[in-house]
Structures are given as structure tokens and as C-alpha cells.
């Protein structure tokens, strides 16, 4: 899609133009004809399947599911209200935020999908490339453009990659789906090493950014930490180098075996050195002038995001200090749910979509409308969806945090649990997904209720708990400090526990299976015993993952499988 200047710029959100909107409307009209032919019987389900998948429409256990793209997790208040309207009108009054910063509607009627896509197009949204063997939604740091530690704004580069990859003729039918993540700071907040391509920005010698490039990471049936191909990729060569990687994968990736089709298998089969050699050979042979990313182009894209007009800090920080002193619950929420902002007097707010006993990532239409209102009132009209299934208000004045928190508290979104054990990541599981072996939602709800006590969560400290309903690992269980995998055990739902996974930074690791699968209730009890073991064996200031690495899995396995 184009990136010509726009007269009316939103804040923090990429501005579509007439070319973008015409393209979306044409795409919807095309799909409407395909749906009508399917409903009339002119197309069989087998013929229709690849067409619907190219438009984000899945056929699940009970209904169609529509996955709507939220590019790099960024949307504005009007778009959030559009999602609320779709939830109310065409679904069962809620949506589910996903680990690729998208949203899913799980109860869609086939005959309604063209109308839904038209509604989305009117709001500059779509469902393109949310499925299929193509480059999926590029994910980015949820604090993009706001974080105090930011080297560059990853939204700009994620948008460049979106424009490059959308309907790319060479990469529309890859051997398998392909996922890219980009972090704009040296702190990896996107799990870069667990992606097909992960990018981490840092400052280059000439003032322009350079990227560390990781390739061949992924979870699923074969969890692998990606290898570093480059640590100094210049900004101007970003598109060319990624195209070289995709060409090597497209040429050699397995198409005869779905389980061996991901780029991670190719990198392992060739070896990192041979893969790098082939990428470099392709890169050297390309006409780089066709792919060069000039500074002017980057700045044109940056301008399409607009910029907030921050107010002077004034006494915002002092007011916040006083409010925190007067309200212990508010102070706890600020400590867990806010992030340092580059602008004095402001903070980024992470809204927890994980209430005690709730379904991780599910948000009602009323809550979506509330989030849109809060964005308009307090955050320049923009929001972000995180890959951990929460929502971020990127730019909130510190003296407005108390009002934001009170509004969230009244509407079931005020949980002060970001980064704690109840901030659970979970896929929809067997309640919806035809591929799942077990239900993820009920065990997530039981664990959330078991550890709902706020003082207990703070005592446990930072801990990442992830749940997947099958080996495809949509809940990223391998990357959780504690992971839960749903399996089929002689026709019954059961769960394996993994321990020691970590998604971010140099200490990225794959969780190790503790032992045999257990029932749902046994698993909840086993995790409680694992936590008790940690609390009794940790040293002063030691986080859960650090204790796991120091002690190894043995004491936790003994606790998990201790006789009742």
C-alpha cells in the first residue's frame, strides 16, 4: 500500500489514503462474490477454503472464526469502536486478542462476512494475510513511540515491512506461514528469537539505526531458538536482506511435509553457516538499488503516524506521588501496569485483559467502547494490542493515571497483575479450535482464581504462565516460565507441564517437560506445589526463572508429582 503524504494525520496510527481504501473495497467485493458462490453450492468447501483463508476466515468446531489484522498492534479509538460494533452485531458480544496482536471473532456466520469486511474497510481495517502460508502480521513492541529506552520507533519499520509483504507475488504461497517481529529497543519485548525473523534495533555508527537479525526461531512441534545472522544490518538494506532470506526459504523450504515446512527446520537442516552463506549470496546478487530504503522514505512513513502534542509536565509527577501514597491499591497498579515514558510527566498504561477467573484476552464490546473512550480522553485517541493479549494506552499524563485506573476498576479491567502469575497467555483451545487436544480456557480460569490474591501474586513476583491446547503452541507454552500443554491421553483431556522457558533477550530458553500428563485439577494443584517450592527455596530477590535455573527441574518435579 502507498505512503504518500496525507493532509489529516491521526496520532500514533498510520494514515490510509484513497489508494489504500480503494484496494480494500475491491478486495471485499471479490470475496463477496466468492462467498455467494460458496453459499449457492457453486464452490465446494475444498475449493472455497484457500479463498476464505486469504481473507482471515477459519472454519472452527462450532462456527466460522474471523481473524482481523491489527498491524503491529496499533489502532485508534474509532477502530476499537468498530470492533465493538462487530462483536455486538455479528458475534456473541466479545472479541479475543491474540498473540500476534490481532483480534478474533469466534461466532461468525459465513453470509455476514462480506458485510463485516466492508465495515472494517470503512474503518481502514481488514483481515488480509491473517491466515495462509504468507507473511503474517508483523508484531512490534507495544510501547512503540513511547518507551524511555527506545532506539527507534518500530511501528515505522513494521509498516514498511507490511507494505513490502502485502500480496507480495513471490511470497504469497510460502512453504508455511511466516512471522516477523521487531523491537525498537535493546530490551526484547517481542520474543524476537522465537520468530521466523526477529529484528532488534540499536544505534549504528553513523547515527542511522542497524538491526540484529535472528532467523529460524519458533515454537510448535519443534521449539527452536533462532540463530543470529547479522548484528549490524543497515536500515537502508532492511528490505533487501529480508527478501534474500525469504527467497532462500521459498526455494528450499519443504512443501511435502507440513511438520517440516517452517524456516526453522530449513536452518537446522542446512546449518546456520550454510544458510547464512546462501542468504549472503542471494543478497549480493540482488540489484540493491531497487530495494534500498532511503532516509526520505523512512521519514515519509514516520510522518504518516503523526505525533502527540504533549503538554508540559507541570506538577504531574508530584500529584501522582501523592495519589499513590493515599491509595495502596492504586500504588500497586501503577507499579505493575505502567511503563516509563520518554516524555516527562507521562506514562504508558498496560490494561490487563486477565481478570481473576476470566478468559485471557477476551474483551466485551462494552469494554472495547470504554477503552476507546479512555484513549480519546487520555491517550491521544490511540491504543495498542500486546502479544501477551493485553491493551496499552501509550501516552497518559501521570496526573490522569488515577482517573484511568478508577474507570478500569469499575469495568473489570483494573487488575494489577501485569507480569504476574495471573497474567496468563492462552489460546482458545478445544472450546473453539478443531486442532486442539484440550481446553485451555477452563484451566486458565482455575489457575487465575487459585492465585487471585494480590498479595500472593506480589510475593511470587514476576512469572510468565502460558497455556496451549495442542502442540501447535498458539499459547506459546514453551516460552513460559511455566508452560502447560494440552494433550490427548487415551481419549481424555490431559496436561503436561513445562518449566524454565523464557521469551526475551539473551536468556531465551525452551521450557522442559517435567513428566507425564495430568488431569486439569491435578495440574492446577501441581502448579500450586511448584510455586510453594519456589517460595521456600529461592534466595533473596531471586525471580522464579532464576530459581529454576539454579536448582534445575528436579525439586519442582518432585513437588509436582508428590502423592496427595
pLDDT class of 5 with cuts at 50, 70, 90? very low
pLDDT class of 8 with cuts at 50, 70, 90? very low
Distances (CA, A) of 560 to 136, 237, 315, 483, 532: 38, 50, 51, 13, 10
DSSP class of 539:
P
- Neighbour count for residue 312 (Cβ, 10 Å): 8
Can you say how many angstroms the Cα of residue 269 is from the centroid of all Cα atoms in its chain? 28
CA dist., res. 501 & res. 194, Å (int): 11
121's enclosing H/E stretch is helix 113-122
- Write the pLDDT tens digit of every residue in 425-481: 999 999 999 999 999 999 999 999 999 999 999 999 999 999 999 999 999 999 999
**CATH class of the domain comprising 425-561:** alpha beta
pTM as predicted: 0.96
Nearest to 468 by CA among 432, 502, 437: 437
Helical H segments across 238-288, by residue range: 238-252, 263-270, 272-285
Where are the domain boundaries for CATH 3.90.480.20 in the chain?
Answer: 318-410
Contacts with 334 (C-beta within 8 Å, 6 or more apart), sequence order: 320, 324, 347, 401, 405
What is 135-302's CATH number? 3.30.413.10
Q: What is the model's pLDDT at position 3? A: 33
Q: CATH fold of 318-410, please? A: Sulfite Reductase Hemoprotein; domain 2 (3.90.480)
CA dist., res. 56 & res. 113, Å (int): 10
Where are the domain boundaries for CATH 3.30.413.10 in the chain?
Answer: 135-302, 425-561
Q: What percent of the chain has pLDDT over 90?
A: 95
Can you say how many angstroms the Cα of residue 416 is from the centroid of all Cα atoms in its chain? 20
Quick check: 157 and 238 in contact, CB under 8 A? yes
Q: At what angle do helices 263-270 and 238-252 cross, to 10 degrees?
A: 80
- Neighbour count for residue 549 (Cβ, 10 Å): 15
DSSP class of 20:
H
Mean pLDDT over 43-61 rounds to 97
CA dist., res. 152 & res. 235, Å (int): 11
Quick check: 460 and 535 in contact, CB under 8 A? yes
Burial class (CB in 10 A: 0-12, 13-18, 19+), 541: exposed
Question: What residues does 58 pair with on adjacent strands?
Answer: 65
Amino acid at each position: 500500500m502507498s505512503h504518500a503524504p496525507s493532509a489529516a494525520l491521526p496520532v500514533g496510527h498510520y494514515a490510509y489514503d484513497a489508494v489504500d481504501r480503494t484496494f480494500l473495497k475491491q478486495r471485499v467485493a471479490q470475496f463477496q462474490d466468492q462467498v455467494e458462490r460458496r453459499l449457492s453450492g457453486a464452490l465446494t468447501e475444498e475449493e472455497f477454503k484457500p479463498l476464505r483463508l486469504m481473507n482471515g476466515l477459519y472454519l472452527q468446531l462450532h462456527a466460522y472464526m474471523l481473524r482481523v489484522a491489527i498491524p503491529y498492534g496499533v489502532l485508534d479509538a474509532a477502530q476499537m469502536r468498530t470492533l465493538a460494533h462487530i462483536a455486538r452485531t455479528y458475534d456473541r458480544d466479545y472479541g479475543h486478542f491474540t498473540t500476534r496482536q490481532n483480534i478474533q471473532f469466534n461466532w461468525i456466520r459465513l453470509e455476514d462476512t462480506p458485510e463485516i469486511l466492508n465495515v472494517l474497510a470503512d474503518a481502514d481495517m481488514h483481515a488480509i494475510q491473517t491466515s495462509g502460508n504468507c507473511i503474517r502480521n508483523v508484531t512490534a513492541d507495544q510501547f512503540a513511540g513511547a518507551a524511555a529506552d527506545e532506539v527507534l520507533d518500530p511501528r515505522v519499520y513494521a509498516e514498511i515491512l507490511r507494505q513490502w509483504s502485502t500480496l507480495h507475488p513471490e511470497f504469497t504461497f510460502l512453504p508455511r506461514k511466516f512471522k516477523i517481529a521487531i523491537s525498537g529497543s535493546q530490551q526484547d519485548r517481542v520474543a524476537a528469537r522465537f520468530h521466523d525473523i526477529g529484528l532488534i534495533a540499536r544505534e549504528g555508527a553513523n547515527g542511522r539505526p542497524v538491526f540484529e537479525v535472528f532467523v529460524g526461531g519458533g515454537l510448535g512441534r519443534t521449539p527452536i531458538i533462532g540463530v543470529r545472522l547479522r548484528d549490524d544490518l543497515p536500515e537502508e538494506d532492511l528490505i533487501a536482506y529480508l527478501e534474500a532470506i525469504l527467497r532462500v526459504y521459498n526455494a528450499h523450504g519443504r512443501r511435502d511435509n507440513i511438520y517440516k515446512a517452517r524456516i526453522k527446520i530449513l536452518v537446522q537442516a542446512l546449518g546456520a553457516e550454510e544458510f547464512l552463506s546462501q542468504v549472503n549470496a542471494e543478497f549480493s546478487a540482488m540489484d540493491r538499488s531497487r530495494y534500498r530504503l532511503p532516509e526520505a522514505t523512512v521519514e515519509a512513513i514516520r510522518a504518516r503516524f503523526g505525533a502527540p502534542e504533549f503538554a508540559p509536565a507541570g506538577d504531574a509527577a508530584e500529584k501522582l506521588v501523592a495519589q499513590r501514597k493515599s491509595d495502596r491499591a492504586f500504588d500497586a497498579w501503577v507499579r505493575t501496569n505502567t511503563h516509563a515514558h520518554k516524555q516527562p510527566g507521562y506514562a504508558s498504561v498496560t490494561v490487563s485483559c486477565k481478570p481473576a477467573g476470566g478468559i485471557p484476552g477476551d474483551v466485551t464490546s462494552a469494554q472495547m467502547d470504554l477503552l476507546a473512550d479512555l484513549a480519546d480522553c487520555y491517550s491521544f485517541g490511540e491504543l495498542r494490542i500486546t502479544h501477551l493479549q493485553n491493551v496499552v494506552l501509550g501516552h497518559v499524563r501521570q496526573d490522569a493515571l488515577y482517573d484511568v485506573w478508577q474507570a478500569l476498576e469499575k469495568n473489570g479491567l483494573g487488575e494489577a497483575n501485569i507480569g504476574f502469575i495471573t497474567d496468563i497467555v492462552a489460546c482458545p483451545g478445544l472450546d473453539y479450535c478443531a486442532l486442539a487436544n484440550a481446553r485451555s480456557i477452563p484451566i486458565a480460569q482455575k489457575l487465575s482464581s487459585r492465585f487471585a490474591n494480590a498479595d500472593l501474586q506480589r510475593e511470587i513476583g514476576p512469572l510468565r504462565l502460558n497455556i496451549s491446547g495442542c502442540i501447535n503452541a498458539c499459547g506459546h507454552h514453551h516460552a513460559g516460565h511455566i508452560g502447560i500443554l494440552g494433550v490427548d491421553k487415551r481419549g481424555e483431556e490431559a496436561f503436561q507441564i513445562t518449566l524454565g522457558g523464557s521469551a526475551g533477550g539473551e536468556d531465551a530458553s525452551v521450557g522442559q517437560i517435567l513428566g507425564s500428563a495430568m488431569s486439569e485439577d491435578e495440574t492446577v494443584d501441581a502448579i500450586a506445589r511448584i510455586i510453594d517450592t519456589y517460595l521456600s527455596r529461592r534466595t533473596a530477590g531471586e525471580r522464579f526463572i532464576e530459581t529454576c535455573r539454579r536448582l534445575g527441574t528436579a525439586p519442582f518435579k518432585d513437588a509436582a508429582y508428590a502423592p496427595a
